[in-house]
Amino acid sequence: MIYYLLCMLLFVIGLYGVLVKRNLIKIIIGLVLMEYATFLFLALVGYKKGGTAPIITKGFEKAVFVDPLPQALVLTAIVIGLATTALVVSIAVRIYQRYGTFDVKEIRRLKE
């Protein structure tokens, strides 16, 4: 139970980074932190007491395995997160080329 609360704490720290920080790169780091907290939470949901890694090798066919389904989900989600991060970082680099700054308060050409 304590581990789930720690994952939520990491999620909230990431959310704080996205909401409060003014540098574009720090916002991106907050975003990545939020995503990885979710992945940790999802992988921890599948834990069973005394379980081992869910891979059948010779001589280990009958052990207690942890749930492999969340691990497969987390693998897929990590790759999705990688693609998202690559796209947002390239947009941030192009913004720096156009505006000359990484500060969110200066990047405000679209008015109300």
Partner 1 sequence: MRGMTLIVKTITRLIVGLIFLYGIYIVFHGHLTPGGGFAGGIIIAGAFILLVLAEGSEELSTEVKKWRASLFESLGIFIFWLLAILGLFTGSVFFLNLLPKGKEYHLFSAGIIPLCNIGIGLEVAAAIFAIFITFAVLKLGGKE
Partner 2 sequence: MMNIIPLFIALPLGAAFLLPILGYRNFDKQKTGQAKRAVVISIRRRRAKRAVILGKRSKKVPDILVNLITLTLLVLSLMVINRELMVYKMGGWEAFKGIPIGIYLVLDGLSVLMLLIINVVGFLATLYSVNYMEKYTDKTRYYTLFLLLIAGMNGVVLSGDMFNLFVFLEVAAIASYALVAFGTEAEELEAAFKYQVMGTVASGFILLGIALLYGASGTLNMADIARVISQQGIKGMVLFAGVLFITGFGLKAAIMPFHAWLPDAHPSAPAPISAMLSGVLIKAIGVYALVRIIFNVLGLGETKSILYILMALGTVSMVAGALLALGQRDFKRLLAYSSISQIGYIIFAFGLGTPLGFLGGLFHLLNHASFKSLLFLNSGAVVYATENRDLEKMGGLLERMPVTGATSTIASMSISGIPPLSGFWSKLIIIIAAIQAGHFILASVAVLVSIITLAYYLKVQRLAFFGKLGQAWKKTKEVPGLMCTSMIILSLLCVGLGVLLLPGIKNMILDPAVEVLKNGAQYANLILGE
Q: Which residues of this chain interact with partner 2, rule CB under 8 A?
A: 11, 14-15, 18, 24, 27-28, 31, 34-35, 38, 41-42, 45, 69-70, 73, 76-77, 80, 83-84, 87-88, 91-92, 94-95, 98-99, 107-110
| Contact flags string 61-90 toward partner 1, x per CB under 8 A | --------------x--xx------x--xx
List, in sequence order, every residue forming a beta bridge with 103; answer none if it has no partner. Answer: 23
Of residues 38 and 54, the one with the C-beta less far from partner 2? 38
Of residues 53 and 63, the one with the C-beta less far from partner 1? 53
> How far is Cα 97 from Cα 54, in angstroms, rounded to an integer?
47
Taking alpha carbons only, the member of 60, 64, 40, 42 closest to residue 52 is 64
Contacts of 27 (CB under 8 A, 6+ apart): 17, 18, 21, 104
Considering the complex, what minimum distance in angstroms separates the CB of residue 82 from partner 1? 8
Of residues 53 and 75, the one with the C-beta less far from partner 2? 75
Report the length, in residues, of the chain. 112
List, in sequence order, every residue forming a beta bridge with 52; answer none if it has no partner. Answer: 65
Considering the complex, what minimum distance in angstroms separates the CB of residue 7 from partner 2? 9
Residue 41 near residue 8, CB atoms below 8 Å? yes
